[in-house]
Structure 1
Amino acid sequence: MTEEKFKLSELPYERITIEAFEKEASDIINQFNQAKDGEEQFSVHKKYYALMEKVSTAMVLAAMRHHGDVSDKFYEGEQEYYDTISPKIESFKVKYQKLLFNSKYRAYLEDKIGKVAFKDIEIKMKSFADVLIPLKQEENALRSRYTKLIAQTKVEFRGEILNLSLMLKYLKSKDRATRIEAAKVRCEKLLTIADELDEIFDKLVANRNKQAKSMEYENFVELGYYNMQRNSYTKEDVANFRNQVKKYLVPLASQMHENRRKRLGLEKLDFVDEGVYFLEGNPIPIGTADDIFAAGKKMYSELSPETNEFFNFMLDHELFDVLGRPNKRAGGYMDMLMLYKAPIIFANFNGTSGDVDVITHECGHAFQGFLTRNDEVAEHNNITMETAETHSMSMEFFTGKWMELFFGERAEDYRKLQLEDAIAFIPYGCMVDEFQEIVYTKPELTPKERREAWKQLEKEYKPHLAFENDEFYGDGRTWQMQRHIYNSPFYYIDYSLAQTCALQFKGLMDEDYMKAWKKYVAFSKQSAKDFFPNMLNHVDLKSPFEDGFMKELVEKIKL
């Protein structure tokens, strides 16, 4: 697809039917089997790329438009259709990749697409079989039900009807009384959907446990790791990482929270004070959404020629859907419309510093996708999530010196918030991961027992935290607002791993900014051509799994 002018909102959409897909897929398999040498098989493989680009573009477009307005019946229907057929598409992919894996011309193909791709195929074959199709369909429907429930949960507050994302401006208000009032109203609303949240998760756990048993695994933890394409580390490596966080980082974070308590002039930190860093309130962006984009344009034009080209491309094609709306899905993400070689960014501006994070964090993802979008080998962009989150979290730090454009005289406060928020996040990400390991190791746990497990983990990872009169969050339900736990099991540890890598990049940029930036671009361009620890080592960063890593990192952090 050439780079002709187009706008995201005007892109044509047409459903990819399973019948048309299966016909084209069958032709590809036949041609692959009949190919007479590796070169001919690779030519067929490029037809596989073209088919998957077409399918993924339609699915991403439909999902984004559904997320933009979950009350839109047409795109809700399209999402339900893809929820049903996507396991069948997955079935074809695994069948085809098995042919690739077992090809008598594998040496030629491996030379073309790389050893990492073949390791990923090996993992994919362990994560999927046709027996899972009905279970995957049920899982998809449950995930969509959760997403819609959260998106349609509205709160009436001070004369406004707000979704949960738009409530954040009050939940992080500098006025503590406002925070308490907003939290109380939110709590009352969330309690009305608490039973449904329990019911959906009960069904998801049971479903995923059945998937694991169908694949003859002891439990879903092993299958979950295969689903997440863990190709260079194990659950034992992750458990060791979490233990190092408890030993070295939690004490640092606790001291940081104590400093924050003093800054806020409070006797103790309550849940309503989470994410509030200054007595005068967190810095908020100056100006409108248009002003934020104008500042982003200036920032990326000055950062590097590559970021200048990237951000102008995003603006020219209007590839952002970031304004908050009542029926819009919560949260934010970046994805790729591969037919158009275009990154897209979805988010919910809500008047907090999180709006700027969209222009840094999500643009970190999108910039990497832009840099590598024309790679002939699609497998090179099949990046694992800890790699992807290193791109985005590091970009947050690289853009730090332009924060005056967004926050004016409070830019330094934002940089302080950014560093402290990064440190505070790592234990939370580990807590989410350990919770999921507990839940899927013991699928028989009741909703109440899950909540008790969460409360115990809060004591280990967030000992500073207290709950005052919040029947929802105080009852060990915080995780039910973390959509990854419902929709993307075992994803969340990737953020914690990546944050430690981003902090390493920050250390490098504090010493020599341009040298660090060149390493970052080099890391981004590696994409998925090597395994995560190797790619870090190539740019002089340490793997989070190395002995002594966390202790050394903590010693270097200057609060």
Structure 2
Amino acid sequence: MKFKDMPYERIDFAKAKAELSEIMEKSKAAKSGEEQFEIHKEFYQLNDKIQTQVTLCSIRHTIDTTDEFYEKEQNYYDEQIPEYSNMCVEYQKILFHSPYKQVLEEKIGQVAFKNMEIAMKSVSEEIIPLMQEENTLVTEYEKLLASAQIPWGEETLNLSLLTPYLKHKDAKIRREAQEKQNEFFLSIQDKLDELYDKLVKNRTLQAKKLGFETYTPLGYLRMQRNCYGREEIENLRRQVKEVWVPFAESIFEKRKERLGLSELSYTDEVVYSPKGNPQPEGTPEEILQAGQQMYEELSSETKEFFDFMMDNELLDVFGRKTKAVGGYMTYIPDYKSPFIFANFNGTSGDVDVMTHECGHAFQGYLAAADPIREHADIGMETAEIHSMSMEFFTEPWYPLFFGKETAQEYTDMHLEDAVIFVPYGCMVDEFQHIIYDNPNLTPKERKQVWKDLERDYKPHLFYDGLEFFENGCFWQKQHHIYSFPLYYIDYVIAQLCAFEYKIWMDKDRKAAWQSYLKLCRMSAAKFHTELLEEAGLETPFKNGVLAKIVENLKK
């Protein structure tokens, strides 16, 4: 079904909770594991129906943030979802403590039961009002960023539409765009401080009510880290500081030389060469057409997937002033439909959407064939492997977007950008650990933490008089820090695994692709570390793996 034809109807949560209560009673009364599993399928049906309507609302709200109807609907779900989610955990407790647990584990897997155990530790009825408040604060932050109205010539731009000028080949235009961005963030700085302070205190109070000293361990549970913990992540960050930061700094040094600069400022470091960044050719519509040809030729599986996406109008990627910033892929369960949201702006980021978000969507399309819904509950560190690896698998088709010569430049830039992302991703993660371990830091102290970390992870960096960023505020434009606490390290883990695929495909593309398909189809049927082993990848937590990746990439 085409996205525009998917009917929306507000979920009546009183009715939904009554249906779930009935399922819970039937589950308690089940006389066998087989009977309990059949009842569990009724839960799948109810939950899919709810998730479908909530997702349709969310998509349509981000497509047009000025639509008052969907804004009210989104506010309604922000208020209702925490209570319903808590009830779902109560239902999971019935399964977890079932006398037929062994049969159920055989049906839906050990990972599902570990995730149930995690869920039971991370919510309670007592904290529902706090979770509702957290949702409201996050929505307020996202609306604050979406409200940007930046004057540019005769136009008024939002943050997404300003992006091409931030990466413009003309240094003067880049600088002017940065100053405009700097001015906007300075104008909302007090509100940014206030919102984050409220979020940190809210999340900390949730944690204390659940028996934790700080939010950090609760954040790990909510990120569904079911087979590794803080020790492994800290060891990963240590290795990044030791072997990856010097590698990334060598890339920045090359950029500085390529640009003919004595110093590489924040304004300049996002630019690949004096000609500017490689730009795709053609209109946004032609970018989509090139994407369709790429996926038709990549494999039979990707052809089927992308035809489905185009036929059902499941990509909303053209930039508009009333759209939310950023991009994402989500999934509409009742229609077994992935959906991609983005803001094409004429930069190479448009091609990134066609590779990265389509990697997510392709995996979602393949996973739709699995009847066990828990298998779709993928950890983000795994989900991002699907997207980041697709960026590398599609390299041979880059000429469709750029032309032959420019495609090679984009390939080189893309690899450089992936390398220099890793230290930044670790910096975001370490920052959040420090903040949630010390929730009473003042806004000024938080900004000093960020400045100190910049010296560790990006020692070349200077902002050249951009006041907002010089004050240690860059993190306030990274919406994950507000909206998805402790998420960002998942990008790092996945990027490192994607590098393994890059190295592998350069040696044996067919074997690497078959491994990738296997990883996508396994979804969350196994724990993350088991998935990597099954697919033939090494976990980046292991000592020496990062050094090995660096040596291969240098070649």
Say which SS state the counterpart of residue 321 (structure 1) adopts: strand
2:522 matched to which residue of 1?
526
State which of 393, 396, 400 in structure 1 corresponds to 2:388. 393
Q: Does 1:433 align with 2:429?
A: yes
Q: By how many angstroms is 1:190 displaced?
A: 1.3
What is the one-letter code of the residue matched to 2:407? Answer: A
Q: By how many angstroms is 1:160 displaced?
A: 1.2
Deviation readout 1:491-515 (Å, 9 max, x if unpaired)? 1000000000000000010001111
Question: Bigger shift: 245-254 or 374-383?
Answer: 374-383
Say which SS state the counterpart of residue 338 (structure 2) adopts: strand
Q: Distance in 1 between matches of 2:505 and 2:179?
A: 42
What is the one-letter code of the residue matched to 2:544? Answer: G
Q: By how many angstroms is 1:15 displaced?
A: 0.4
Say which SS state the counterpart of residue 347 (structure 1) adopts: strand
What is the one-letter code of the residue matched to 2:252? Answer: H
Q: Which runs of 4+ in 1 moved over 4 A?
A: none
2:157 matched to which residue of 1?
162
2:81 matched to which residue of 1?
86
State which of 343, 347, 356 in structure 2 corresponds to 1:361. 356
User: Which stretches in structure 1 are left out of the alignment for 5+ residues?
Assistant: 1-5
Q: Distance in 2 between matches of 1:304 and 1:507?
A: 20
User: Which stretches in structure 2 are left out of the alignment for 5+ residues?
Assistant: none
Q: Distance in 2 between matches of 1:439 and 1:67?
A: 29
Q: Distance in 2 between matches of 1:518 and 1:558?
A: 26
2:451 matched to which residue of 1?
455
1:195 matched to which residue of 2?
190
State which of 534, 539, 549 in structure 1 corresponds to 2:535. 539
Matches within 5 A, 1:327-406: 327-406=322-401
2:475 matched to which residue of 1?
479
Q: Distance in 2 between matches of 1:9 and 1:247?
A: 50
Q: Distance in 2 between matches of 1:231 and 1:495?
A: 17
Q: By how many angstroms is 1:10 displaced?
A: 2.5
State which of 245, 248, 269 in structure 1 corresponds to 2:264. 269
Say which SS state the counterpart of residue 441 (structure 2) adopts: coil
2:147 matched to which residue of 1?
152
Say which SS state the counterpart of residue 66 (structure 2) adopts: coil
Q: Given that residues 252 and 269 in structure 2 are in contact (C-alpha distance below 8 angstroms), is that contact kept between their aligned partners in structure 1?
A: no
Q: Given that residues 255 and 269 in structure 2 are in contact (C-alpha distance below 8 angstroms), is that contact kept between their aligned partners in structure 1?
A: no
Q: Distance in 2 between matches of 1:386 and 1:392?
A: 11
TM-score, normalising length: structure 1:
0.98
Q: Given that residues 330 and 340 in structure 2 are in contact (C-alpha distance below 8 angstroms), is that contact kept between their aligned partners in structure 1?
A: yes
Q: By how many angstroms is 1:549 displaced?
A: 1.2
1:11 matched to which residue of 2?
6
Q: Distance in 2 between matches of 1:22 and 1:297?
A: 42
Deviation readout 1:325-378 (Å, 9 max, x if unpaired)? 112111111010000000000111111100011110000000000001021100
Q: By how many angstroms is 1:274 displaced?
A: 2.8
Q: Distance in 2 between matches of 1:167 and 1:463?
A: 27
State which of 232, 238, 242 in structure 2 corresponds to 1:247. 242
Q: Given that residues 61 and 74 in structure 2 are in contact (C-alpha distance below 8 angstroms), is that contact kept between their aligned partners in structure 1?
A: yes
Q: By how many angstroms is 1:236 displaced?
A: 1.1
Q: By how many angstroms is 1:316 displaced?
A: 0.2
TM-score, normalising length: structure 2:
0.99
Matches within 5 A, 1:167-316: 167-316=162-311
Q: Distance in 1 between matches of 2:369 and 2:250?
A: 46
Q: Distance in 1 between matches of 2:482 and 2:236?
A: 23
Q: By how many angstroms is 1:199 displaced?
A: 0.5
What is the one-letter code of the residue matched to 1:516? Answer: A
Deviation readout 1:46-69 (Å, 9 max, x if unpaired)? 010011101111111101111111
Q: Given that residues 317 and 341 in structure 2 are in contact (C-alpha distance below 8 angstroms), is that contact kept between their aligned partners in structure 1?
A: yes
Q: Distance in 2 between matches of 1:415 and 1:158?
A: 33
2:408 matched to which residue of 1?
412
Deviation readout 1:453-498 (Å, 9 max, x if unpaired)? 0001011001111111101112111111111100100010000000
Say which SS state the counterpart of residue 272 (structure 1) adopts: coil
Q: Does 1:549 align with 2:548?
A: no
Q: Distance in 1 between matches of 2:372 and 2:518?
A: 18
Q: Distance in 2 between matches of 1:413 and 1:478?
A: 28
What is the one-letter code of the residue matched to 1:139? Answer: E
**Identical aligned residues as a percent:** 52
What is the one-letter code of the residue matched to 1:33? Answer: K
1:71 matched to which residue of 2?
66
Q: Distance in 2 between matches of 1:12 and 1:273?
A: 47
1:470 matched to which residue of 2?
466
Q: Distance in 1 between matches of 2:242 and 2:124?
A: 40
Say which SS state the counterpart of residue 330 (structure 2) adopts: strand
Deviation readout 1:301-335 (Å, 9 max, x if unpaired)? 11000000000000000001111111211111101
Q: Distance in 1 between matches of 2:155 and 2:234?
A: 44
Q: Given that residues 82 and 132 in structure 2 are in contact (C-alpha distance below 8 angstroms), is that contact kept between their aligned partners in structure 1?
A: yes
Q: Distance in 2 between matches of 1:56 and 1:285?
A: 36
1:515 matched to which residue of 2?
511
Q: By how many angstroms is 1:418 displaced?
A: 0.7
Q: By how many angstroms is 1:9 displaced?
A: 2.1
2:18 matched to which residue of 1?
23
Q: Distance in 1 between matches of 2:144 and 2:318?
A: 20
Q: Does 1:58 align with 2:40?
A: no
Q: By how many angstroms is 1:420 displaced?
A: 0.4
Q: By how many angstroms is 1:216 displaced?
A: 1.0
State which of 117, 125, 129 in structure 2 corresponds to 1:134. 129
Q: Does 1:496 align with 2:458?
A: no
Q: Given that residues 360 and 383 in structure 2 are in contact (C-alpha distance below 8 angstroms), is that contact kept between their aligned partners in structure 1?
A: yes
What is the one-letter code of the residue matched to 1:392? Answer: S
Q: Distance in 2 between matches of 1:359 and 1:198?
A: 35
Aligned-residue CA RMSD (Å): 0.8
Q: By how many angstroms is 1:35 displaced?
A: 1.2
Matches within 5 A, 1:117-128: 117-128=112-123
